[in-house]
Chains A and B, each alone.
Chain A
Amino acid sequence: MGNFPSVTVEKKSGPLTLDDKTEAIVIDLPGLYSLYPKALDERVVIDILANPQHRDYPDVVVVVADASNLKRNMLLFTQVADLGLPVVLALNMLDVARDKNLQINAVKLAMKLGVAVVRINARVGEGLTNLKSAIVQTLENPVTHRNYYFNPADQFPELIEEVKKNNQLSNNYLALQYVQQHDIFSFFSTEKRVAFDKLIEKYGFMESGFQAAETMHRYAVIDGLVKDSVKTIADFLVKPPWTKRLDAVLLHPFWGYAVFLFVLFIIFQAVFTLATYPMDMIDAGVSSLNDWLNQQLPAGALTNLLTDGLVAGIGGVVIFIPQIAFLFLLVALLEETGYMARVMVIMDKLMRKFGLNGKSVVPLISGVACAVPAIMSARGIGNRKERLLTILVTPLMSCSARLPIFTILIALVVPATSVFGFFTLQGLTLMGLYLLGLISALLSAWAIKGIVKSSETGYFVMEMPTYKVPRWYHVGLAVWDSVKSFVTEAGKIIVAISIILWVLATYGPGDSIARAEETVQKSNPALQGTDFENAVAAYKLENSYAGHFGKFIEPAIAPLGYDWKIGIALLASFAAREVFVGTMSTIYSIGSVADEDNHTIKARMRSEINPKTGQPMYTPALAFSLLIFYVFAMMCMSTIATVYRETHGWKWPIIQLVYMTVLAYGLAFLTYQVLK
């Protein structure tokens, strides 16, 4: 039944295959707007639909509606539905609707009407397969109990009841149709018609008036039904202009990555270069504080504990705050502006190859400052396995603490020649080490991902915010949070271990420490002043618990090219890697005064002779062995503690410690053996 130009004037029928097991007869009824016929030829419709005994009474009615005039076409639909017939609504002429800029939500409409709604384009034969399946579906599950769109029993309950009783009807609307159209029904005898006339008189039923009321009521209902489902093409689906423009670049296959690399470059420049100014200031401040304390307080063990242990330990934590703050400031800025979401999107596919997630970029980048807040930021990754892998490999991203070690060792063995104008060989080596960290992080993740079981798949589903000017308050909060977590989590542990190590380095078995000055004086009577003090310090260190430990592990680390002096430094740097340089300074008898350009320590290390070979100790082989060791070694108690907290157990931190130590030892060994 349709109401469009190619209207059928009489009933036409033919066979149709609906699917493999269903054959149907399609009866094409004349098009009309409602069940109340306006012309003679329209009578056949109600004649059939009101008479279940009619040989053409349908199992399913397909109401074909002109989508560009949906409301008007729905009137017939509500009537047919009210008759209790199984219906399918076919939306036709959608191209016309589109030209009118209308958008019809067939799914919503179907949900509201409770029937199948199929889109077709009868003119070109589109949608017929869907229509067939909808018909089959409706045949198999005919909807029976539906609320009436218009219930005549609301107004004339007794009339409807009587009609239903007299004619064995169950449907109120059918009963009404009996009343309204009794003169038209071909299956009514004259007596029956007369009987209805009497009923109408009895109840004072006004046929035309009631029909008008019915039509108006139906339209009101239709209004509500159709309101949400027909709209003008939604503009809200389009992105705001600036976001659109920026995304065209930042999600671009080439420019997207180019911009990202550039951003990374800026971050590292800022972190490593700009941060040095506040760092130097902190350094100077700690030194002056120590000097002042040494002046004010009586000399002795407790004072030393305070200055060399506690204050130095705290200083060792505080000095990294500028780098950490800078990096997290930049990362927070990227997140606040909305750019970070784009980074996660362009990196996700690549990250997934290694078992990681696009969201892993934030912890990995942050790990360049400090692994502790970086690992905590992995909380944003929903997938348990991807998050775990991220946590396990983030410490391989060389953190700030390793930088002083890298710097001094590189300066020792790599010449300061320029390459390509503004790069230096030293700078390139440094970059190479960081890259090594990154590559090893990815490869380790790839290697581990086969071992970790994963029950659930996590989701990447993530909102892409529009680009906006950062809310500085939030940026500040983010920086504060990460610095705080670094200071309280990492800091506590670093200070604690610093003090322990200080004790280990200051006290030793027997009385060799107590008699240090004596002993040194005896063997080097010529030494005076600072040189004498430094020599004494070196002797004390050698004979402390730490010194004995260094000698104890020497056989184990000898294949890597290390001696017991380095062994002490390795032990000390377990608290915090940065302690390495300070310890080296002490070992090499230049005192523990921080030296910005490391002139003295460098010179001293350069002149150190290897007792076994008679050659300089710090050969490139040794230096690189150390460098490689520090890239891979998990020498940070704070990180272990953080991983313990984030993974709720000791299993993973221990696995991490083991695999990283194995990597560090193995690769450092290889490096030394190959290069020497």
Chain B
Amino acid sequence: MRTIADLKIGELAIIKAFQKVDLSLKLLEMGCLPGVEVMLDFVAPFGDPLGIQVNGYCLAMRREEAATVFVEDSI
């Protein structure tokens, strides 16, 4: 199952589910709900953290955090 960490820059995807409950609460609060579209915006030097565009703003998170968010390809 693909996660946000597997996306390429510019790739669109839709959030499907979360692997970790406590982290999911934080992400839900920030508007990352199942069914919401995201796009990978940048990857920091050394590959970590990365940033996604979601709900009109940019959200940064560590690669290990991104790997807990399952996504489905958009289109």
The answer to whether A and B assemble together is yes
B35 touches A346 (CB 8 A): no
Tell me the nearest residue of chain B to A248, going by C-beta. Answer: B42
Distance between Cα atoms of A348 and B47 in the complex (Å): 11
B65 touches A461 (CB 8 A): yes
**Complex alpha-carbon distance, A104 and B12, angstroms:** 11
Q: Give Cα A105–Cα B37 distance, bound, in whole angstroms.
A: 8
Q: Which of A159-167, A180-188, A233-241 contacts B (4 or more CB under 8 A)?
A: A233-241
* Interface range, B side: 35 or more
A107-150: which have CB < 8 Å to B?
107-108, 111, 119
Instruction: Report whether A111 and B72 are in contact in the complex, using a CB–CB cutoff of 8 Å.
Output: no
- Establish whether residues B23 and A251, one from each chain, have CB atoms under 8 Å apart when the complex forms: no
Specify the chain B residue showing the minimal Cβ separation from A104.
Answer: B75
Whether A460 and B62, one on each chain, are in contact in the complex, defined by CB atoms closer than 8 angstroms, is yes
Task: Encode contact with A along B11-45: 1 for CB under 8 Å, 0 otherwise.
Answer: 01011100000110011001000110111011011
Instruction: Report the minimum CB–CB distance from B60 to chain A (whole Å).
Output: 5
Partner of A460 from B56, B58, B65, B75 at Cβ < 8 Å: B65
Partner of B26, one of A236, A247, A461: A461
CA distance A236 to B53 in the complex (A): 9
Chain A's closest residue to B15 (CB) is A107
Query: In the complex the two chains form, is B59's CB within 8 Å of A459's CB?
Result: no
Contact call B60/A461, Cβ cutoff below 8 A: yes
Q: Distance in Å from the Cβ of B29 to the closest Cβ of chain A?
A: 10
List chain A residues, Cβ under 8 A from B65: 459-461
The reply on A436 being an interface residue by CB < 8 A is no
- Contact, CB under 8 Å: A348 / B49: yes
With A461-B65, A464-B51 known as contacts, the answer to whether A239 contacts B41 (CB < 8 A) is yes
Binds B, one of A252-260, A327-335, A398-406, A518-526: A252-260
* Residues in chain A within 8 A of chain B (CB atoms): 94, 97-98, 102-108, 111, 119, 233-234, 236-239, 243, 247, 251-253, 256-257, 341, 345-346, 348-350, 358, 456, 459-466
Other A-B pairs beyond A107-B16, A119-B72, 9, CB < 8 Å: A97-B75, A104-B74, A104-B75, A107-B15, A111-B34, A239-B58, A346-B45, A462-B60, A466-B57
Can you list 20 A-B contacts with CB-CB less than 8 angstroms, sorted by A residue number? A103-B12, A103-B37, A104-B75, A236-B56, A237-B12, A237-B39, A238-B53, A251-B44, A346-B44, A348-B44, A349-B48, A358-B49, A460-B49, A460-B60, A460-B62, A460-B65, A461-B30, A461-B60, A463-B58, A463-B60
Measured CB to CB, the residues of B under 8 A from A are 12, 14-16, 22-23, 26-27, 30, 34-35, 37-39, 41-42, 44-49, 51, 53-62, 65, 72-75
